[in-house]
């Protein structure tokens, strides 16, 4: 099995296994920072009335809950049907459609969306392919904003590293006896984060794919990173 296939298999097992408790685990895993990260993402996206938005890796619709009643249409795509079923049960007003799909082979015609958003997906993908799909999805002048966990950096790197590579792995071992899905998640995610180089590659990939104004931000002292850019209008 190729490295890419292994990552996809890991992602599918992680998210399908924890889908019933995903909302709670997400907040715990990020030390309750994810709400702030999503608010920051939406601020960068500057959604406008009538925008058609693609959420790659929509999961249980946590981002859509924060979008609320804004007059936009969201199309959510996720790799796991269990997540999509839970998102559908929330009956969120802004959600236009929820579809099963692969981030590297999106099932849409080109240049359909005004905005593309994504949280926690790119580390499971080949960066170049992921960015190429986003470029294909966006209309000229469209906006992309994404974030994901990154290798710990900055002055808080030792603390983040201890949490990700130490505490989470330990929690994975403790959870093995009562919840194998949570155990798998806490055991595997530190390895995925450690090996991913998405944050080193994405800026170059965005530029090569025709994006301009590429910017980034370190979140919560280095535990995650956010990138945003516009697709060139020409």
pLDDT in tens, 127-174: 999 999 999 999 999 999 999 998 887 777 777 777 777 777 777 777
Higher-scoring residue by pLDDT: 83, 22: 83
Q: What is the mean pLDDT of residues 50-59?
A: 97
- Angle formed by the axes of helices 180-195 and 168-175, nearest 10°: 160
Question: Is residue 165 in a domain?
Answer: no
Residues 6+ apart with CB under 8 A from 223: 30, 33, 149, 150, 152, 156, 160, 164
Asked if the structure places residue 121 within a domain, the reply is yes
Task: Write the pLDDT tens digit of every residue in 68-82.
Answer: 888 999 999 999 999
Residue 7 lies in a domain: yes
For residue 186, is it within any domain? Answer: no
92: domain CATH number?
Answer: 3.40.50.150
Q: In terms of residue numbers, what domain contains 120?
A: 3-150+196-231
* Closest among 48, 222, 57, 46 to 144, alpha carbons compared: 46
Better-predicted residue by pLDDT, 153 or 202? 202
pLDDT computed for residue 187 by the predictor: 79
| CA pair distance 56, 44, nearest whole angstrom | 16
Within a domain: 80: yes
Judged against a pLDDT cut of 70, whether residue 2 lies above it is answered with no
Q: Does residue 34 form part of some domain?
A: yes
What pLDDT is stored for residue 164 in this prediction?
77
| Strand 211-219 relative to strand 224-231, pairing | antiparallel
- Give the total number of structural domains in the chain: 1
Distance of CA 179 to the CA centre of its chain: 24
Give the mean pLDDT of the chain.
Answer: 88
Nearest Cα residue to 155 out of 226, 225, 224, 222: 222
CA distances from 197 to 152, 153, 214 (A): 12, 13, 18
Q: Specify if 175 maps to a domain.
A: no
157 within domain boundaries: no
pLDDT at residue 175 in the model: 66
Rounded Cα–Cα distance for residues 73 and 222 (Å) = 32
Position 3 scores a pLDDT of 56
């Amino acid at each position: 099995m190729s490295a890419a296939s292994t990552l996809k298999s890991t992602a599918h097992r992680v998210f399908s296994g924890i889908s019933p408790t995903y909302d709670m685990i997400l907040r715990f895993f990020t030390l309750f920072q994810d709400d702030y990260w999503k608010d920051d993402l939406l601020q960068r996206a500057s959604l406008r009335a009538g925008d058609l938005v693609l959420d790659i890796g929509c999961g249980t619709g946590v981002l859509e809950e924060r979008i609320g009643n804004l007059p936009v249409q969201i199309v959510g795509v996720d790799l796991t049907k269990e997540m999509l079923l839970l998102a559908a049960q929330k009956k969120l007003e802004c959600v236009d459609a929820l579809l099963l799909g692969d981030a590297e082979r999106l099932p849409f015609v080109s240049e359909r969306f005004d905005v593309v958003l994504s949280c926690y997906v790119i580390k499971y993908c080949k960066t170049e392919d992921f960015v190429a799909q986003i470029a294909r999805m966006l209309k000229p002048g469209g906006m992309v904003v994404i974030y994901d966990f990154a290798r710990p950096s900055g002055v808080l790197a030792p603390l983040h590293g201890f949490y990700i590579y130490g505490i989470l792995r330990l929690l994975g071992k403790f959870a093995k006896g009562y919840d194998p899905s949570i155990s798998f998640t806490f055991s595997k995610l530190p390895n995925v984060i450690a090996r991913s180089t998405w944050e080193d590659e994405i800026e170059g990939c965005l530029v090569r794919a025709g994006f301009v104004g590429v910017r980034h931000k370190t979140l919560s002292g280095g535990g995650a990173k956010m990138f945003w850019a516009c697709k060139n209008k020409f």
